[in-house]
Amino acid sequence: MSLLLTIAFAAWPVGQYIFGCALNDILEGQAVVILPDGTYDTSHMWWWIWFFLLFAVVRGVVLYGTTIARMTLGGRILCDLREKIFAQVQYLDSAYHREHGAGEIIARTTRDSDKVREAMFGAISQLAEVVVMIGSSIILLYWYHMSLGAVVSVLLLFALIILWRQTYKLSILNRATDDSYDGVVQQLTEGVEAVRVIKTFRMEQPRLQAFTDQVRIYSAHSARVIVFIATRMSIPQLIVALGHVWILLMGVQLVSEGVLAVGDLVAALMVMTTIIFRLDGISLAARQLADARASVDRLNEFFAQESVLQSGTRPLPEGPLGLVCKQVSVSGTTNNHVLLNNCSFTIQPGEIVAVVGSTGSGKSTLCSLFSRLRDPDSGSVSLLTESGEEFVVTGVEKSALRRAVQVVFQESFLLSRSLVDNIELGQTDRLNADDLQTILTQSAADTIVGEMEDGAQTLIGERGVTLSGGQKQRMCIARALVKKPRILVLDDSTSALDALTEERIIESLHAESGDTTVVLITSRIASVQLAQRVIVLDRGEVIATGTHEQLLETEAAYRALLCVDDRQTEGATDGSF
C-alpha cells in the first residue's frame, strides 16, 4: 500500500512536467502540423490527449485502491485500540477507578482513540503524500534551473521550522482541551445515570447549569486552539508563497535568455502552486498530529498504569475454605482516613458469620479484601482449609480466588440483557434447565422468573431498572451461586428482602452445601439471627466477637447498634427475640 501511494503521489509533479512538454510541442507547432494541402495533422495531439486520459485513470484507480485499503486498516486498528483500552479498564484495580471518573475513561476510549486513528491514517498518510509530492516538485524545479529549486528550498525549510515550533505549542493547548472534555463527558454520564434522582429532588436546573459551566470551560479551551491556528498556522504558507513570485520573476528572465522554454516556465509555476497548496496539507497534518499527540500522551499515561493487585501463582487448595484476618489495617485515599485498624479474626470453613457495625465502621472495606478487590495496607488476609493450613490471598491465582470467593455487593448491578444472561454472567457454558431451577430456588428468584411473561428469557432494562430492589438483589445472589462459591460474601445485599425470604435463601444455601462459608455484612437483627457467630466492628476495629446471644448479654454497644434495650435482652436467649 505504501509503495502504491508513493507512486501515485510522485506521479502528480511528473504529470505537470509532461504537461509542460506537451505545451512546448503545441507552441513549437509539433502537436498540430499544417500539411501542404492546408489540412491539419492532429495525430500527435491525440497522442497527448490519450496519454493524459490514461494517466488520470491509472492514478485514480491506484488512489481509490489505496484509500479503501487505508480505511479498512484504520478501522481494524481503531477496533484493536479500543479493545486494548477496555482490557486495561478491566485490568486496573478499584483504586484507580475510585480516583478517575467514567467520563475520563469514555473520552479516552472514543475521542482519543479516534484522534489516534485519524492521525495514523489521515495525517500521516497525508504527510507522506505531501512529502513525496513536495520532494519530487523540488527536484523538478532543480531540473529546470538550480536557482529556482535553491530559493524555494530555503523558503520551505524556514517555513517548516516555524511550523514545527507552532505544532509543539498547539499540542499543549490541545491537551488542556482534551482534559476539559473529560469533565463534559463526566457531567453527561452522571446526568444520564442519575436522572431519576435528579428528577426526584428537582435538581434539573442545577445539573443543567453545572453541565453548561463545564461546556463553557471546554469551549474556552477550544477557542484558544482556534485562535492559535488562525493567527499562527498560516504564517508558513505565506512564507512559501514568496517562492511563487521568485519563480515568476526568475523564470521570465530565464525564458528571455533562452535557458528555459515557455512550457517549462508554466510547468514550474504549476509545480510551485502545488507546493503552496501541499504546504497547507502539511499544516493540516501538523494540526492533526498535535491534536493526536495530546491524545497519545493521555493514552500512554492510561496504559502505563499498573494494577496494584498483581495476581499470585499458587493454586487454590481443595475443599471448604474459611478466612483469617491478621492485624489488617486499611487507610482511605483522602486525608489518610483509617478505614480498618488492626483487625484480627478467624472464620472457620462452612461457618455462617455476620459482620455488623454502624455506618462507616469498615464493613464493606473488609469484604472487599476477601476477593482482593483491594489489599490491606498492613496485615494479611488468608484462606483457611479444614486442616488448618493458611494460604495468603496475595499469593493465590487471582481469577481462581475470585471464582471461589463470590461477593454480592450493596449495589445491585444488572446488565440490560435477559434474566438468564445476567444469572450466567461469566459462565462459559449455558445452564441446563434443572441447574437453573436449582439456582433460582436457592436464591428465592424462582418467583421472579415465574411472574415474567417470557420467563428467564425476559429482557430487563438498563441496570435492571424494570425490577424492584428486592428482585435485583435476588438476581445478584443467583448470579453468585452459579459459580458454586466456597465463600459467599453478602455485603448488605439482602437489605431489600423481607426476613422470611432472607432466611429461606440462607437455609437453602446451607442445606444444599453445608461446606459453603457465608459472611453476612449486615445491620439487621433478622440477618444476625441467621448467623452462627457475629463479629462487631466499630470505627474500623473489631471490638467483639461471639454468638448473638452472648453479645446481647455482654456488649452494650452491640445492643445499641441493634436498638435492643435491656427488656428485650432478657428474652433474647430464650428465642423470643
Half-sphere exposure of 545 (CA within 13 A, CB side): 12
Q: Within 233-261, where are the H helices?
A: 235-256
Handedness of CA 180, 182, 185, 191 (dihedral sign): negative
What pLDDT score does 344 carry?
Answer: 93
* The three grid cell numbers given for residue 517, joined into one nine-digit string: 462459608
What domains are defined for the chain? Answer: 2-304 (1.20.1560.10), 322-546 (3.40.50.300)
Give CA–CA dist 158/136, Å, rounded.
19
What percentage of the chain's residues is helix, strand, coil (to nearest 5)? 65, 10, 25
The gap between the terminal CA atoms of the chain, to the nearest Å, is 80
Helix axes of 146-193 and 262-304: crossing angle, nearest 10 degrees: 30
Give CA–CA dist 529/403, Å, rounded.
28
Among left, alpha and beta (phi > 0; psi -120 to 50; other), residue 350 is left
C-alpha of 298 from chain center:
11
What pLDDT score does 27 carry?
Answer: 62
CB 124 within 8 A of CB 285: yes
DSSP state of 431: P
DSSP string, 32-75: SEE-TTS-EE-HHHHHHHHHHHHHHHHHHHHHHHHHHHHHHHHH
CB 331 within 8 A of CB 540: no
Tens of pLDDT along the chain (577 residues) come to 555 555 555 555 666 666 667 666 666 666 665 656 666 666 667 777 777 777 777 777 777 777 777 777 777 877 888 888 888 887 777 767 767 767 777 877 777 888 887 777 666 666 677 777 777 788 878 888 888 888 888 988 888 888 888 888 888 888 888 888 888 888 888 787 777 778 777 788 888 888 899 899 989 998 988 888 878 777 887 888 888 788 888 888 888 888 888 877 887 888 888 787 777 777 777 777 777 777 888 888 888 887 777 888 888 888 889 999 999 999 876 666 788 999 999 999 989 999 998 888 888 888 889 888 888 989 999 999 988 888 898 888 888 888 889 888 877 778 778 888 888 877 767 778 888 888 888 888 888 877 777 777 877 766 667 777 788 888 888 888 888 888 988 888 777 677 777 777 777 766 665 688 889 888 778 778 888 899 999 888 999 999 988 988 888 888 888 776 554 444 444 433 3
Handedness of CA 102, 105, 109, 111 (dihedral sign): positive
Q: Is 432 helix (H, G, I), strand (E, B) or coil?
A: coil
What pLDDT score does 567 carry?
Answer: 45
What pLDDT score does 572 carry?
Answer: 44
Torsions phi, psi for 522 (to 5 deg): -160, 165
Torsions phi, psi for 406 (to 5 deg): -100, 130
What pLDDT score does 575 carry?
Answer: 37
Query: Does the predicted model carry a pTM greater than 0.75?
Result: no
What pLDDT score does 378 carry?
Answer: 92
